[in-house]
Structure 1
């Protein structure tokens, strides 16, 4: 029996790296009706931007590097028994040359995190950091683009507020996305998941050990030099996006 795509709900969650994006994917993946897609434009971005990342060969072999093909795959029928698709999208992967016409029929949300925390986490995994690498300018640009293309203002989730009270924030996010709240989103079995991307062994060590949302965040890290300059610039976009938090 073919899937009635009119009954399919597709949610794209737009995040920068180190924004708790994989934890949020775990949360939605705990819903029995959901199927998750992990960073579908990663290979396309690597190829088009000329970037080199850990596990480069594995990533390029695991996905199409043609953004038009990726967009088409994101709209394909879901597996039997699944009615909700959750797309973990990275804002820095979406180059302005990539197609965006596919976003119109989706429901969108944005996951943000204080740039100071993002920078501290990012530099533990990558030697160098830049404003574009943490995806904040691209996140604000995509917010405007998607609002214009869909005619709807997407909800924004702040990682700090989420960690402080998941049972309060997640139901509000579900309501903003027009889906029922499911308490299953508060916990999951630890370990790797079938949807995890080829890059997971480098990035997902902490998430693989998790079974739920972590403790509330501690004090903000203090940065100096280049990192402090990047944080200051990124804060302007972050604070504008926060105006629409759930």
Structure 2
């Protein structure tokens, strides 16, 4: 099975990747389309040229590699960003088990702006997530939707429920991982993964009320309907 996580940035997508990496029956891939995305869009992200040069950017070959890993390992967990799926034929994901990971856009934007000060709606991927979800539904697929804050609040229960939906046995190995960089990290980890590298498990969400900076309010208002649409499908 290919478990395709479609997330936005500054969620718990990396921690979830680490959780699945603890499974003995699952290989993980960290944002395999990131290099293509940067090359296609021309966006300047930290480490842009190094990322492009170090990764496969032929999307057909990326899909072939994923299929090869599935044959060898049995299960593949792909951590992906919704906005990375543009500029190429991504219909092969119709054969995947697609899981959408969502987070309140105010929390996402506040965190993202610590790395890139002027994020756009495109950067956080919620609109692309909503569009992909609708496309999958129209194609006869019903994706899974999970909320990162729920996993952080009740990790054992939420991961057990997710594994049940995936028809995989839950293992408590998924609840902990070692600190520091991981072999499965993309080379962009040095720019984005400081907090998760200090973690060993899912931490409870911050209960402090965030004050959204004024320059992010317009993007927040644009993103909110997409978040609400997807949250309607998250398991209660």
TM-score (norm 2): 0.94
Contact in 2 for aligned 1:21/1:88 (Cα 8 Å): yes
* 1:104 to partner: Cα distance: 2.2
- Select between 213-222 and 162-171 the one with higher mean Cα deviation: 213-222
Following superposition of structure 1 onto structure 2, how do residues 221-236 of structure 1 map, counting pairs within 5 Å? 221-236=210-225
Q: Structure 2: how far apart are the matches of 1:146 and 1:67? A: 19
Runs (5+) with no aligned partner, structure 2: none
1:93 to 53, 69, 84: 84
* 1:133 to partner: Cα distance: 0.7
Following superposition of structure 1 onto structure 2, how do residues 29-108 of structure 1 map, counting pairs within 5 Å? 29-78=21-70, 80=72, 82-95=73-86, 97-108=87-98
Q: Structure 2: how far apart are the matches of 1:121 and 1:239? A: 19
Contact in 1 for aligned 2:109/2:216 (Cα 8 Å): yes
Contact in 2 for aligned 1:164/1:217 (Cα 8 Å): no
Q: Structure 2: how far apart are the matches of 1:100 and 1:93? A: 10
Find the counterpart in structure 1 of residue 103 from structure 2.
113
TM-score (norm 1): 0.91
1:207 equivalent in alignment to 2:199 = no
2:159 to 170, 174, 194: 170
Runs (5+) with no aligned partner, structure 1: 1-8
Find the counterpart in structure 1 of residue 184 from structure 2.
195
Q: Structure 1: how far apart are the matches of 2:158 and 2:22? A: 16
Q: Structure 1: how far apart are the matches of 2:71 and 2:61? A: 19
* 1:79 to partner: Cα distance: 7.6
Match of 2:101, SS?
A: strand
What is the aligned residue count?
235
* 1:224 to partner: Cα distance: 4.0
Q: Structure 2: how far apart are the matches of 1:132 and 1:239? A: 17
Contact in 2 for aligned 1:14/1:90 (Cα 8 Å): yes
* 1:20-39 Cα distance to aligned partner (Å, 9 max, x none): 11011011111111110000
